[in-house]
Amino acid sequence: MHQAFIVAALRTAGGRKGGRLAGWHPADLAAQMLDALVARLALDPALIDDVIIGCVSQVGEQTFNVARNAILASGLPESVPGVTVDRQCGSSQQALHFAAQAVMAGSMDVVIAGGVESMTRVPMGLSATLPLKNGFGHYMSPAMRARYPGVQFSQFTGAERLAVKYGLGKDALDDYALASHQRAAAATREGRFGPEIVPLPARAADGETTGEMHAVDEGIRFDATREGIAAVKRLAEGGRITAATASQISDGAAALVVANERGLKAMGDPKPLAAVRQMTVVGHDPVIMLEAPVPATPVALRKAGLKLADIDLYEVNEAFASVPLAWLKATGADPSRLNVNGGAIALGHPLGASGAKLMTTLVHALAARGARYGLQTMCEGGGLANVTIVERV
């Protein structure tokens, strides 16, 4: 079996809802990542066997196979194919898994995996709510309703249940949120995100360019204070979660070039950033929904023949502060290795792009620190989790 190498990894700086990326059509946003990867590697487009893009809200501007639309909006030739993947928040992490599996099997040699989500232009949940409002039904079938009577699947309810289950009070969640902003601010000031961010012209919601380049994650609160975070209203009466301890709604895209040994040779033997060592996905309770990274992590480690102590850096998506904190408590992991450059609470969570975005940050952080192993995991709608273990090479 071949090896799967991550050869290059790039992302946009995160854009706030209605912010500096709001004027970008998502297909054009993803296209910019494709063109940037080709330019970064001087990659011959004829070598690209497929483009796999993760996207959650596949409706409106993100429908009709946004991966193919991104290719048609890019400088790539029409001969390059593309396919869109939905595994909810793990969509582009799953895109990476599919790409790695293809090159490991040898059926393909060079694949681009990535993700895109414009939560400004395609609001979260629109693919479910729009048909329902227009008489075209709901995703919950009669059989599902019979199995889960009276249940309304909700990530917000899941985040609260997770906090209660793991004994995480509001103070702990607020502390974590502050740390996320502080880590992201430090990473930005120190230039750690520079190698992974593709600067783009800032575009207002009406599509007008502002004359400025967008190269800094827009959601970071450089002046965040514990008092300010603590003052944010709770999402539910008597609850523990607030908007300050939840991931930010944002716009963004990210993409990675994945290749096997044949692909590397055809590309002129560029030095890879990392090798993909293990890929796992598990299903878990869809009601609490966000806990799946906890049971998924030991499965991935066992299959990789590694222990948690072997992993130098962890990226656990900050959908809500309760997710990484529950993961830390359950696994006993070293908190100093977790989301060292901040996470989605500060940097944003552009749904279908987040998996590729986190992996981009992870492989660059491994390179910057001279570290060996990295582990990434995401909680996902429906009670799912992907885990990817990579090794710097």
* DSSP letter, residue 47: G
Residue 55 appears among annotated catalytic residues: no
The single residue of 97, 214, 349, 364 carrying the catalytic annotation is 349
SS3 (DSSP) at 277 = strand
The single residue of 2, 55, 89, 181 carrying the catalytic annotation is 89
* DSSP letter, residue 360: H
Residue 379 appears among annotated catalytic residues: yes
Task: Give the 3-state DSSP-derived string for 170-226, with helices as H, strands as E and coil as C.
Answer: HHHHHHHHHHHHHHHHHHHHCCCCCCCECCEEEECCCCCEEEEEECCCCCCCCCCCH
| Sign of the CA dihedral with 295 first, then 297, 300, and 304 last | negative
- Which of 220, 198, 192 lies closest to 313, judged by CA? 192
Residue 240 CA to residue 181 CA, distance in Å, equals 19
Residue 26 CA to residue 143 CA, distance in Å, equals 35
Contacts with 229 (C-beta within 8 Å, 6 or more apart), sequence order:
174, 177, 178, 242, 244, 245
- Which of 390, 393, 392 lies closest to 97, judged by CA? 390
Contacts with 305 (C-beta within 8 Å, 6 or more apart), sequence order:
none
Q: Which residues are catalytic?
A: 89, 349, 379
